[in-house]
Copies of this chain bind each other. A is one copy, B any other.
Amino acid sequence: MTGPKKGGEAGYLRIATEEAFATVEMLQSFDRVLDGGDPDPGFLSLMGFYMRHKSERATWVFERLKDLGALRIADMDARGIDIQVIGLTSPGPNILDADTATGVTRDANDQLAEACRKHPDRFVGMAAFAAQAPQEAAKEIERAVSSLDMRAAIINSHIQGEYLDAPKFYPVLEAIEAMNVPLYLHPNTPPRAMIGPMLEAGLDGAIFGFGVETGMHALRLITSGVLDRFPKLQVIIGHMGEALPYWMYRLDFMHQAAVKSARYDTMKPLKKGTVSNYLCENFFITNSGMAWEPAVKFAQDVIGKERVLYAMDYPYQCPVEEVVAMDAMEMDIKTKKMFFQENAQRLFKIRL
Residues of A within 8 A of B (CB): 49, 53, 55-58, 158, 161, 163, 165, 190-191, 193-198, 200-203, 205-208, 211-212, 215-216, 219-220, 223-224, 239-240, 243, 245-251, 253-255, 257-258, 260-267, 289-292, 294-295, 298, 301-302, 317
**Given the known A-B contacts A207-B250, A208-B251, are A57 and B201 also in contact in the complex, defined by CB atoms under 8 Å?**
no
Residues of chain B within 8 A of A55, CB atoms compared: 260-263
In angstroms, Cα B261 to Cα A245, docked, is 31
User: Which single member of B56, B163, B206, B208 contacts A197 (CB below 8 Å)?
Assistant: B163
A246 and B240 contacting across the interface, CB-CB below 8 Å = yes
Residues of chain B within 8 A of A298, CB atoms compared: 246, 294, 298
Q: Kindly report which residue of chain B lies nearest to residue A224, judged by CB atoms.
A: B201
**Given the known A-B contacts A163-B197, A216-B203, A295-B246, are A260 and B208 also in contact in the complex, defined by CB atoms under 8 Å?**
no
User: Which single member of B49, B195, B248, B257 contacts A263 (CB below 8 Å)?
Assistant: B49
A254 and B205 contacting across the interface, CB-CB below 8 Å = yes
Residues of chain B within 8 A of A294, CB atoms compared: 298, 301-302
Chain B nearest Cβ from A159, distance in angstroms: 12
Q: Kindly report which residue of chain B lies nearest to residue A213, judged by CB atoms.
A: B197
User: Which single member of B203, B239, B250, B302 contacts A223 (CB below 8 Å)?
Assistant: B203
A261 and B223 contacting across the interface, CB-CB below 8 Å = no
A249 and B196 contacting across the interface, CB-CB below 8 Å = no
**Given the known A-B contacts A208-B251, A289-B250, are A223 and B202 also in contact in the complex, defined by CB atoms under 8 Å?**
yes
B53 and A207 contacting across the interface, CB-CB below 8 Å = no
Q: Kindly report which residue of chain B lies nearest to residue A253, judged by CB atoms.
A: B317
Residues of chain B within 8 A of A239, CB atoms compared: 250
B57 and A200 contacting across the interface, CB-CB below 8 Å = no
User: Which single member of B197, B205, B253 contacts A158 (CB below 8 Å)?
Assistant: B197
Residues of chain B within 8 A of A247, CB atoms compared: 208, 211, 243
Residues of chain B within 8 A of A207, CB atoms compared: 219, 250-251, 254-255, 258
A292 and B216 contacting across the interface, CB-CB below 8 Å = no
Residues of chain B within 8 A of A193, CB atoms compared: 194, 196-197
**Given the known A-B contacts A207-B255, A261-B55, are A250 and B219 also in contact in the complex, defined by CB atoms under 8 Å?**
no
User: Which single member of B57, B219, B249 contacts A208 (CB below 8 Å)?
Assistant: B219
Q: Kindly report which residue of chain B lies nearest to residue A202, judged by CB atoms.
A: B264
> Which of A207, A261, A264 has the most chain B CB atoms closer than 10 A to its own CB?
A207
In angstroms, Cα B313 to Cα A257, docked, is 14
Given contacts A57-B260, A163-B197, 18 further A-B contacts (CB under 8 A): A56-B260, A57-B257, A161-B197, A190-B194, A194-B197, A201-B220, A202-B258, A203-B219, A203-B220, A206-B254, A207-B258, A211-B247, A211-B250, A245-B246, A246-B246, A246-B295, A248-B292, A294-B302
Residues of chain B within 8 A of A240, CB atoms compared: 246
In angstroms, Cα B248 to Cα A219, docked, is 22
In angstroms, Cα B158 to Cα A268, docked, is 29
> Which of A56, A219, A254 has the most chain B CB atoms closer than 10 A to its own CB?
A254
By Cβ-Cβ distance, the 9 closest A-B pairs, closest first, are A193-B196, A202-B264, A55-B261, A249-B292, A207-B254, A246-B246, A202-B267, A57-B261, A243-B243
> Which of A200, A247, A248, A262 has the most chain B CB atoms closer than 10 A to its own CB?
A247
